[in-house]
Structure 1
Amino acid sequence: MSTPRTVLLTGASGVVGRSLLRTAAAPGTGSAAARGLRLLAGVHRGPVPEATDTVDCDVSAERFGLDEDSYATLVREVDLVVHSAGLTEWGLPAERYEPVNVTGTRQVIEFAERAGAPVHFISTAFVAALSDDAPVPLGEGNVCRNYIASKRSAEQLLRDSGLPHTVFRPTNLVGESGTGWTSQAQIVQLMSDWLARGRAPFVPAHPGVRMDFVAQDLLSLAVLGALREGDAEGEYWVTYGAEAMDVPACLRTLAKHLAGRGRTLAPPPVVNPDELEPGVIEALPPMARSFMSVLRDVSEVTRCSGGVLPTSMPELRTRYGVPHVDDTAAYLTALDYAAGQST
């Protein structure tokens, strides 16, 4: 039996990292062992119950915060890097993203160059909103802008490095497609929980935009597929694109979930934010103002991406065997899982 290739997974305690470890540990031909891979979980903070092998790894620090001997040992040991460490919270000042999302990527590049290891980078599909050919410019005050810009800078660092690498650009993630499991609530769940209370007077969404959510295990399977195949070049949009549900379909799915739990939701009207009177959202109570502003800004991101996010899903299904999962079904499963966790 050949020796498994060792994969350093940065950000192993995060949502993507834990999903990758969980997916890789699943029995069958899709398991990490069957793929000839050994996943080494790089951990800086937080528990990682799914990990069997761990290493201290602070990507924002020189040598990942390790002493020279430990770092040199890690360099010799690692064959591949999956870089999923990142600050993903929206709405922070640009300088808050620099240490992990930008400097952290520089540290990963330096390590990978020494190790002779290709890098598989987890970015975001929202970078489409800042592309040079975006149909409309993204507003300077958009809640996602600084986060997106940091991921775009990280992608550029990888391109400039000349390292063999792939880039995976997922849209907003929901729980596993079959179970709804997630290691922690994400923005989709938080927004859905608020909408389920019936507090939204309307939903601000630009005409034609899609509510593009992807089950986190589909991303994990795509990344593991690239590792299995030894691919070290490619950019993949882990999105549904034109297959994604529109806003009314999303609201109907949320209402269906609530009906299954004996609750009723009358879906609020969908309103074009560009047609709102100035100050309408700002005049709402604080919590409603916060949630409605996020909905408006995410809609703006999608509009600046062409209204429908780019997608590589058909290629991922063919190339890496990513299953065809209905997005409304995955969203409903994620809602049901979250509701079960809260009872």
Structure 2
Amino acid sequence: MNILVTGATGFVGRGVVAELTKRGHTVLAASREGQDVGAARGLKMDVGDLGSVQRGIGSVPDLGAVVHLVGIITEKGVQTFARVHVEATRNVLSSTPRRARYLHMSALGADPASQSGYSRSKGEAESLVRASGLDFTIFRPSLIFGPGDDFFGRVLKQLVSLPPVVPQIGDGKFPFRPVSLSDVATAFAQALDVPSSVGQTYALTGPQEYTFRELLDLELKALGKRKPILPVPIALMNVAVPLMNLLPNPPITRDQYVMLKAGNTAPPEPARTVFGLPMLHLEDLLPQIVGKKG
């Protein structure tokens, strides 16, 4: 099958492209730079530009599926949640042939009524997908882990490495159920072979739930560090986070703070059964992710 993948050069994009090409599909790796991704030929396309999207998608003969992965975690300049998550999705949807399958990367917690700009824009994009008339499948992953990830490999690593004590927000009981990149890539690829997944929305979560405190402990252990963990009261964080956001590169944005307090978890079923996911464990890959093994 000829498949176009947006956001193909990103962390998730590379994993999905690799899984699709491994299964014998012909993949076009769409990105603003247009670079090749593994065995997939690069295709220069700016999802924020409707004309660019129309030309890119229109250039693929016998297009069988579009996998839309483009997304941002923080806003910067013109790259806002509304532009990247909502407008770009509208551009891709309107340019996708009716005959093609459409697979959409959303996020756990997506909700048009969310207080988080990220989650709100993801929810608005989902509404566009459902109204598109395409044969769609929506995936809502939790935190995605794997070599090269941003959260465990950079954000959490810096949080437990840089300060003399590790700050813990509140009581640290916010729940998370991280999912491996391998599970996410498998779900996207398998959906093309599972007709019953058309019109469905699936949470993508891992086999085990952790509190934020447990994630801090796991990160410290993987790095071979021993440090005290200092709880920071929510009332203090409510004052500190807005002040941090006056900095050019705040350690945590207001939006990330809202999402963190909400947690990020859901049961792994039915995605585990429907797509036969391997359900890899965070502990098995964390040393490699933080650079202590492999």
Q: Does the alignment reach a TM-score above 0.5?
A: yes
Equivalent of 2:288 in 327, 330, 333: 333
Secondary structure of residue in 1 paired with 2:33: coil
Contact 1:204 1:272 in 2 (8 A): yes
Equivalent of 1:161 in 117, 124, 132: 132
Contact 2:107 2:139 in 1 (8 A): yes
Contact 1:79 1:115 in 2 (8 A): no
Distance 1:222 1:201, change over 3 A: closer
1:125-152 CA-to-partner distances (Å, cap 9, x unmatched) read 132xx465xxxx73xxxxxx22222222
| Cross-structure match for 2:229 | 268
Could you tell me how far apart the structure 2 residues matched to 1:73 and 1:282 are? Answer: 46
Is it true that 1:78 corresponds to 2:39 in the alignment? no
Secondary structure of residue in 1 paired with 2:192: helix
| Cross-structure match for 1:148 | 119
Equivalent of 2:104 in 102, 121, 125: 121
Contact 1:164 1:232 in 2 (8 A): yes
Could you tell me how far apart the structure 2 residues matched to 1:91 and 1:268 are? Answer: 30
Secondary structure of residue in 1 paired with 2:221: helix
Structure 1 length-normalised TM: 0.72
The amino acid of 1:266's aligned partner reads K
Secondary structure of residue in 2 paired with 1:58: coil
Structure 1: where are the runs of 5+ without partners?
26-30, 139-144, 176-180
- Aligned pairs, how many? 291
Deviation for aligned residue 1:169 = 1.0
| Cross-structure match for 1:290 | 250
Deviation for aligned residue 1:268 = 0.8
Secondary structure of residue in 2 paired with 1:126: coil
Structure 2 length-normalised TM: 0.83
Structure 2: where are the runs of 5+ without partners?
none
Equivalent of 2:29 in 35, 41, 56: 41
Distance 1:48 1:217, change over 3 A: farther
Distance 1:209 1:55, change over 3 A: same
Could you tell me how far apart the structure 1 residues matched to 2:178 and 2:187 are? Answer: 16
Deviation for aligned residue 1:282 = 6.7
Is it true that 1:193 corresponds to 2:134 in the alignment? no
Q: Equivalent pairs: percent with the same residue?
A: 20
Equivalent of 1:244 in 191, 209, 212: 209
Deviation for aligned residue 1:38 = 2.4
The amino acid of 2:155's aligned partner reads M
Equivalent of 1:202 in 167, 185, 195: 167
Equivalent of 2:46 in 58, 67, 70: 58
Distance 1:84 1:297, change over 3 A: closer
Deviation for aligned residue 1:320 = 1.1
Could you tell me how far apart the structure 1 residues matched to 2:29 and 2:142 are? Answer: 23
Could you tell me how far apart the structure 1 residues matched to 2:211 and 2:108 are? Answer: 17
Is it true that 1:174 corresponds to 2:151 in the alignment? no
Could you tell me how far apart the structure 2 residues matched to 1:209 and 1:95 are? Answer: 29
Secondary structure of residue in 1 paired with 2:269: helix
Could you tell me how far apart the structure 1 residues matched to 2:17 and 2:99 are? Answer: 23
Deviation for aligned residue 1:77 = 1.9
1:231-275 CA-to-partner distances (Å, cap 9, x unmatched) read 32211111248x32222322221222222xxxx32241334414x
The amino acid of 2:205's aligned partner reads T
Distance 1:280 1:226, change over 3 A: closer
| Cross-structure match for 2:80 | 96
RCO (CA 8 Å, sep 6+): is it higher in 1 or 2? Answer: 1
Distance 1:51 1:118, change over 3 A: same
Deviates more, 1:215-224 or 1:228-237: 228-237
Secondary structure of residue in 1 paired with 2:189: helix
Structure whose alpha-carbon radius of gyration is higher:
1
The amino acid of 1:228's aligned partner reads D
Say which structure is richer in helix: 1
Could you tell me how far apart the structure 2 residues matched to 1:71 and 1:92 are? Answer: 27
